[in-house]
Structure 1
Amino acid sequence: MATMTEWIEGARPRTLPNAVAPVAAGVGATVELGAFTWWQSLLALLVALALIIGVNFANDYSDGIRGTDSDRVGPLRLVGSGTAAPKAVLAAALTCLAVAGMLGLVLVVASGRWWLLAMGAACIVGAWFYTGGKRPYGYAGFGEIAVFVFFGLAAVLGTVYVQAGEISLAALGCAVAVGCFSTGVLTANNLRDIPTDRTAGKRTLAVRLGDTGTRRLYLALVTVPFVVTVALGFGSPLALVGLLAAALLVVPVRAIAGGNTGPGLIPVLRDTGMAMLAWAVLTGAALALS
């Protein structure tokens, strides 16, 4: 039976910046539009957190019962390691996804933005079928696209639209930037797992691109947010403060460019996530102040 510490590790807390960052950036863009509502922003944050934890448990369950995690380099997986029963992990995943769905429903009902129900349903379905079902799209190389859409475009623009009823160019820029950061985190993860994923028949984008191609993709992805920062700076010079987040990428970029493999890539996920969070907070604050 898994301990509380193991359950927390299984929830993969290092991925939480992927949920917090889009809301932080979205809130800044919402304030810039003069439409900020604190409780709606809080609900959006809770939805994002519940969704990403649900995704993590769902991936743990689905990969575990397939045997994909039997030989794993990264953080603890509950099912793959035999630490927790598959049914218990499945229950945790479904509970978190249900919480995300209920909180999202409250947010939609309160705001009256009814079409967002379809987007919320797509997020939950996407969360499950990433590694779940007979033909998980994460095993076919489409995981990066899903992360960009759900934890970039949907999360940022959803946070803005549910409060403002519109989106701005600044909000769209933030959505692209955060989406690229989130995709960069997944790319680093899949780069680390290329050998085991290839053996398990998991054809991620990293497996398809190969080691060199995946490293180039990561470097391109973490460059885009700073291009966005420069673009935002033309309308709001204060937004250039987002360039400070680049300092947090020095170490992970060196690890990627230097050819680190296996355990040497684990810190890259953490550092990229922290750079994303810093960029989102700095940029969101700049947009709000502008």
Structure 2
Amino acid sequence: MWIQALRVIPRISREEWQRLDIISRWLISTRAAVLIMTFTSAGIAGLLAAHAGKFDLLRWFLLTIGLIFAHATNNLLNDYTDYARGVDANNYFRTQYGPQPLEQGLMTKREHLTYAAVTGLIALAAGAYLVAVNGPLALGLLLIGAFFVLFYTYPLKYVGLGELAVLLVWGPLMIGGGYYVITGQWDWNVALAGLVYALGPTTVIFGKHIDKRAEDAAKGIRTLPVILGETASRYVVLAMMALEYLGVIALVLMGYFSPVMLVVLGALYWLRPALTVYRRPRPSEPPREEPARSAWPLYFVAASFYQSRAYGLFFMLGLILQLIVR
């Protein structure tokens, strides 16, 4: 179950849940499959620090733990907030693609908040050490991160700022800030490189919000896809996917990245099916093709996730090759 929960968000019954160990329950509750995007951000920050000759293993390890557990805390608080506001009631989108422990009665409020508190304290402990060794700027970065953890679900997601928050968090904050706490130096080129990578996770959240646009609109949750409409939102995602690759090419031409970073173009193989999905409106019924049928009601988000995951892995491969060539 650990491996399965890290690969996908598994659908399980109450009986199956009761037989699970505490780690499996935590992985499922935090939607651990999407934490790979956060690990990739931490990995990119570490590789860029190594490229600058300033990698510190302890700082990178604590950065990685802090970011992953902060993301997990956000997911737990997201479910708690939506449950408390009644958003996830009546077979809402969230309960269709994976367990919502509170809404489905798998956990009590107290148990859920305990998970969130312990997870958040682990993230805070890692962050506190990095603040202690880096000073005021690291404290500022930690406070900004805490703001997004606590307020992404409400009110940011409700007023069309959730997607922008993801772009800033997974890019300049995680990668630019991560580079800073590892090396002790801020670098705008690193922040720009982080912004290019963050387009991938942003397409994932955009895809998810397009998938549940009708449900969100009915509940007064004004995500960007609700504001822009489905067609415009699909073209925004297509533009971001193109910019993921164009951004790497631009950084190579600027001289910040070595030409070996063009290995990221290998991820274009996974881009093609995503483009096919986004060029058409969302179907009203589950598609016939696999894996889209099995993932339903996840449709656009599933296409974004597979593309983003491949892109992130090729991005890291390029950074590793840079180190080898140097």
Same fold (TM over 0.5): yes
For residue 103 of structure 1, report the CA deviation from its aligned partner: 0.5
For residue 81 of structure 1, report the CA deviation from its aligned partner: 2.6
- State how many pairs are aligned: 286
Q: Identify which of 253, 257, 282 aligns with 1:260.
A: 282
For residue 91 of structure 1, report the CA deviation from its aligned partner: 2.3
Larger displacement relative to structure 2 (247-256 or 207-216)? 247-256
Contact conserved, 2:274 with 2:303, CA < 8 A, in 1? yes
Partner in structure 2 of residue 204 of structure 1 = 223
Partner in structure 1 of residue 124 of structure 2 = 101
Contact conserved, 1:22 with 1:156, CA < 8 A, in 2? yes
1:271 is the counterpart of 2:306: yes
For residue 6 of structure 1, report the CA deviation from its aligned partner: 5.0
Gaps of 5+ in 2: 1-13, 284-296
Partner in structure 2 of residue 117 of structure 1 = 139
Partner in structure 1 of residue 115 of structure 2 = 92
Contact conserved, 2:38 with 2:67, CA < 8 A, in 1? yes
Q: Identify which of 155, 167, 172 aligns with 1:148.
A: 167
For residue 165 of structure 1, report the CA deviation from its aligned partner: 2.5
Distance in 2 (CA, whole Å) between partners of 1:83 and 1:269 is 29
1:82 is the counterpart of 2:105: yes
Per the normalisation by structure 1, the TM-score is: 0.91
Q: Identify which of 264, 268, 272 aligns with 1:250.
A: 272
Partner in structure 2 of residue 283 of structure 1 = 318
1:213 is the counterpart of 2:232: yes
By relative contact order (CA 8 Å, sep 6+), the higher-ranking structure is 1
Question: Cα gap change, 1:186/1:205 in structure 2, threshold over 3 Å: closer, same or farther?
Answer: same
For residue 65 of structure 1, report the CA deviation from its aligned partner: 1.5
Instruction: Give CA deviations for 1:175-212 in whole Å, capped at 9, x if unaligned.
Output: 11122111111001111110111111111111111101
Question: Cα gap change, 1:228/1:265 in structure 2, threshold over 3 Å: closer, same or farther?
Answer: closer
Partner in structure 2 of residue 17 of structure 1 = 36
Amino acid across the alignment from 1:108: V
Amino acid across the alignment from 2:119: C
Distance in 1 (CA, whole Å) between partners of 2:311 and 2:103 is 29
Partner in structure 1 of residue 60 of structure 2 = 41
The SS at the match of 1:81 is: coil
Contact conserved, 1:185 with 1:269, CA < 8 A, in 2? yes
Per the normalisation by structure 2, the TM-score is: 0.81
Larger displacement relative to structure 2 (228-237 or 187-196)? 228-237
Partner in structure 1 of residue 190 of structure 2 = 171
Distance in 1 (CA, whole Å) between partners of 2:118 and 2:311 is 27
Distance in 1 (CA, whole Å) between partners of 2:246 and 2:308 is 18
Contact conserved, 2:264 with 2:311, CA < 8 A, in 1? no
For residue 228 of structure 1, report the CA deviation from its aligned partner: 1.7
Distance in 2 (CA, whole Å) between partners of 1:93 and 1:188 is 26
For residue 23 of structure 1, report the CA deviation from its aligned partner: 1.2
The SS at the match of 1:131 is: coil
Question: Cα gap change, 1:91/1:192 in structure 2, threshold over 3 Å: closer, same or farther?
Answer: same
The structure having more radius of gyration, on CA atoms, is 2
Amino acid across the alignment from 1:239: M
For residue 7 of structure 1, report the CA deviation from its aligned partner: 4.2
Partner in structure 1 of residue 181 of structure 2 = 162
